[in-house]
A and B are shown apart, each in its own frame.
Chain A
């Protein structure tokens, strides 16, 4: 079993904040296929289409038959620890600060052996379950977990480096006026967040669920309006140094495309919330989080964007909102670049139609606010950076990966969606 992490003590104000350092950063272009899959929590290895050989680390050509047809394939995640080393010192500053560090050789059920980080609860010569995750450098790495769940397993020091567990962390949920914001506050509180700051815009307007929100354990309701630069800056001045996870739940969605709308007022509202909103949040909260990426048990670790899946390809029925979501999606990629080196992950949760007022007339299947919140918290606990929530989003992503141009044609058919 793992010793449970205790809630960190208050920071010693005389101590310098530990700056983020990084595990090795460089990967070949080929190897980024592994990283991209790891970001979504998938354990993939290269497999030769010609001879069927599985290979690791990533290669340009099959080591067995020299074929170039090496492709990333999902692999069975079982294996056995056959040799291990606990590293006591390292020339790499990141590992040097974190020794002792357990590593080992795993004989995979997939038929090859790999080097991996080893969870503290893995028994000598024991069976393991492999996970692929991005590390503090944003690069895909392998870790072997015990095959069965152990006590406080998520608190393992090495595993926690790969995850963004809300436990003992301080979370900002940017908009608590909606069922989604309230469900998110509930979910992160239940996951052990030590403080859940919840932003409320325009406190002069009543909103449903206000009393229930305030009653959620560890919730602190704060004035925050993502359309107001002054409001965003004011809140960052107040709590910017202790936001470890930021979950942007603010969204403005209206049906309608471009030609069937009169004027740009609604489109501007969509951009104000969906694009300029996160931009303001990034400018106000990003620098503090980037600085605090290695700040102990409750280091800054994750920025969560909730994006409509139509950010990837426009759905004309919600065409204008889709465009603002596309802008937000593009911005999230910029943010990922700007957070690189800080250890702060950007989690994009792409969801299909949500069960809420502005999508009321859409047919099921829909994602409930509670379902989306649960999926996001789960992804944080696992340390993912990509997440699709709901049947519509999952199906959409399959089609998008298959051929984005075909998907575009589908969506723009008269009956498209």
Chain B
């Protein structure tokens, strides 16, 4: 990959140092008060992010500050591995420590559903919606990540979870959209701004929780609780999302970054 003595990486290095390629943070801060998914109370719950101080330049450790933190594998901005769902339980290399690292650095398409989600908090992204997006932005390339932009990350915590007596209300994909992304576009993963890859009312779709069931059953990955998707172009950005290497991990909180090329306008 060398032209005139430059490699792809040296060109990238130069673009990064010149600022023509920017690094965008797509991660929420791990904060004890950030919403997590709420399941019916008789089920096990997602552990909140918690911090306990070990020492802070004091009698517990005079020159150093450090803390213990605890959380679920699915707290905050996090990665879902295929073993997270029953449909992916028997797949090989399907936990965060064993899935191939190639999927962690991939091109990303961002499907803007912010207008629709503002109008309908239960908005479901369909295959037709994706086809219409492709009309405008071109075909979704094989092996990329597809992220659903809803601007949900800009909501206050209560409106973000949007929990009511009949459950949470937030947008997500329907089963047809996920099947299309897997079978016809062969994406590596799908991500959202909401607390899960599925819509708030995803339990009532068929199959229930289609994004979880279908993506993970097909060995694909999920990302949720993403932020700043409005700073990404529809196509052309590069996603960097390596989860922690937790033995047999079903997922992990992580820092998600995107490399974005400055347009010359």
Contact = CB atoms under 8 A, between A and B. Distances in A.
Contact of A227 (B44, B50, B164): B50
B48 A227 contact: yes
Given A228-B50, A266-B44, A204 B35 contact: yes
B248 to A, nearest CB: 15
Contacts of A266: 44
Given A229-B50, A266-B44, A269-B45, A206 B163 contact: yes
Interface residues of A, number: 15
B15 interface: no
Contacts of B50: 227-229
Interface string A219-244: 00001010111110000000000000
Nearest to A268: B47
Interface string B29-57: 00011010010000011011011110000
Given A228-B32, A231-B32, A204 B48 contact: no
B61 interface: no
Interface stretch (B153-161, B200-208, B257-265): B153-161
Nearest to A280: B52
Contacts, number: 42
Interface string B127-168: 000000000000000000000000000001110110110000
Interface string A246-283: 00000000000000000001100100000000000000
Nearest to A263: B44
Contacts of A269: 45
Interface in B85-108: none
Given A228-B32, A231-B33, A203 B48 contact: no
Interface in A145-176: none
Nearest to B53: A229
Contacts of B45: 269
A204 B158 CA distance: 4
A229 B157 contact: no
Contacts of B157: 203-204
Given A204-B33, A225-B32, A230 B51 contact: yes
B32 A204 contact: no
Q: Of residues B32, B53, B156, B164, which shows the largest number of chain A Cβ atoms within 10 Å of its Cβ?
A: B32
Contacts of A202: 33, 35
B32 A203 contact: no
A231 B163 CA distance: 22
Interface string A174-206: 000000000000000000000000000011111
B32 A265 contact: no
B67 to A, nearest CB: 10
Contacts of B51: 229-230
A229 B163 contact: no
A205 B157 CA distance: 9
Given A204-B158, A205-B163, A206-B164, A265 B33 contact: no
Contacts of B161: 204-205
A265 B48 contact: no
A228 B47 CA distance: 12
A223 B53 CA distance: 21
A404 B38 CA distance: 41
B158 A206 contact: yes
Contact of A265 (B44, B53, B163): B44
Nearest to A207: B163
A229 B49 CA distance: 11
A229 B161 CA distance: 23
Contacts of A205: 35, 38, 158, 161, 163
A46 to B, nearest CB: 48
A121 to B, nearest CB: 51
Nearest to B164: A206
B255 to A, nearest CB: 21
A203 B163 CA distance: 11
A225 B45 CA distance: 16
A227 B71 CA distance: 12
Minimum-distance CB pairs A-B, first 10: A204-B157, A204-B158, A228-B32, A204-B35, A204-B161, A265-B44, A206-B163, A205-B163, A229-B52, A230-B32
12 contacts: A203-B33, A203-B158, A204-B33, A204-B156, A205-B35, A205-B38, A205-B161, A205-B163, A206-B164, A228-B50, A229-B52, A231-B33
